[in-house]
Structure 1
Amino acid sequence: MPILNLWLLCTIVLAVKMWANALVQAYARFRYRQFVNPEDASLVGQLIGKPRPPATQEHPLAQRAERCWRNDLENIPMFLLVALGYGLLGGSAGWGVVYLGTFAITRTAHTLFYLAGLQPWRFLAYLVGVGATGAIAIHSLGLILRP
């Protein structure tokens, strides 16, 4: 499979993973009927026929999913940009499978571990994902600097 196809597949997998995490936030809000935005609380109150005041804070599961989302936003775009550069520079598909596969798997594991509150597994998944980002960046620099 050409490297840019692998990059797009990885991008899609990570997007689906992030959407799933957003669904966890929505699930927690609706399951526990905790909405911090007044307009959301009002709408849900109208739908169920009981006025609902806004919550003072999100449910802990929604909070955890939100922190996981922010962590994704700090890591995924950077990796995808470097990986795209790697592909455009003509990086090998063999190494691309290693970098892109490792990153997609560890970011998915990171999300699952984050939502479940499992340490040190969450940290280890994060660390391997950062390692994949560093490795593909170094490999890309080698492609740029080659004679």
Structure 2
Amino acid sequence: MSELIDSDVFLAYSTYSTIVLLKMLLMGPLTGYFRVKHLAFVSVEDAKAHGAKDEETKKQYMRIHPDVERVRRCHQNDLENIIPFIGIGLLFALTGPDLSTALLHFRIFAGARIFHSIAYLLPLPQPSRGLSWMVGLGVTFSMVYRVLKAGMRL
């Protein structure tokens, strides 16, 4: 096990996993920022904390705003893609791939996820977001294939 932890592949996996997890983690505060900016809350206590004193103002603050929903959907997409990458990437690293192959997978995935968020939040015209999602998914499936291929050799 210490050989894995000391390996360059595991270091690369750890680095790029941390990058995409940090990116995903930042989506929560970004959602909060847009909620405050647009006074669009989902709980009464949040509406009250931001100035809604009477029932009419509470109703105005308890709403859905398109910018908040865009950030939430981006965050949801991260959860659906980054979490599988973390698990599959670890299994992939355990198969002992060449460093260059591992770096290619990890870097492309991280770049695709960062670009996906930029394309989602700005928003950039389609198919930019869809293509970046497909690239990231393709990388994950490539790692799945390599893990299964390595397992079938046993």
TM more than 0.5: yes
Conserved in 1, the CA contact under 8 Å of 2:16 and 2:106? yes
Aligned to 2:146: 139
Return the alpha-carbon distance in structure 1 between the equivalents of residues 75 and 108 of structure 2.
19
Instruction: Answer yes or no: is 1:25 the counterpart of 2:50.
Output: no
Question: In 1, distance between residues paired with 2:88 and 2:99?
Answer: 15
The corresponding residue for 1:79 is 85
Q: Displacement of 1:95 after TM fit?
A: 0.7
Q: Is the 8 A contact 1:25 1:65 kept in 2?
A: yes
For structure 2, the residue ranges without an aligned partner over 5 or more in a row are 1-6
1:123 aligned onto 2:130: yes
Structure 2 residue 106 is matched with structure 1 residue 106 = no
Q: Return structure 1 stretches of 4+ with deviation > 6 angstroms.
A: none
Check the 8 A contact 2:9/2:93 in 1, yes or no. yes
Contact preservation (8 Å) 2:8, 2:99 = yes
* Distance across 2 between alignment mates of 1:2 and 1:142: 22
Aligned-residue offset at 1:111: 0.8
Q: How many residues align?
A: 143
SS at match of 1:133: helix
Structure 2 residue 65 is matched with structure 1 residue 53? no
Alpha-carbon contact 2:41-2:47 (below 8 Å) kept: yes
How well do the aligned residues superpose, as a CA RMSD in angstroms? 1.6
Unpaired runs of at least 5, structure 1 = none
1:66 paired with 2:46, answer no
In the alignment, what sits opposite 2:3?
Answer: none
Q: Once the 2 structures are TM-superposed, how far is the Cα of residue 93 of structure 1 from its aligned partner?
A: 1.7
Give the TM-score of the pair, scaled to structure 1: 0.88
Q: Could you tell me how far 1:80 is from its partner in structure 2?
A: 1.4
Of all paired residues, the percent bearing the same amino acid is 29
Cα deviations across residues 104-143 of structure 1 (Å, max 9, x unaligned)?
A: 1101110111112321100010010011011111111222
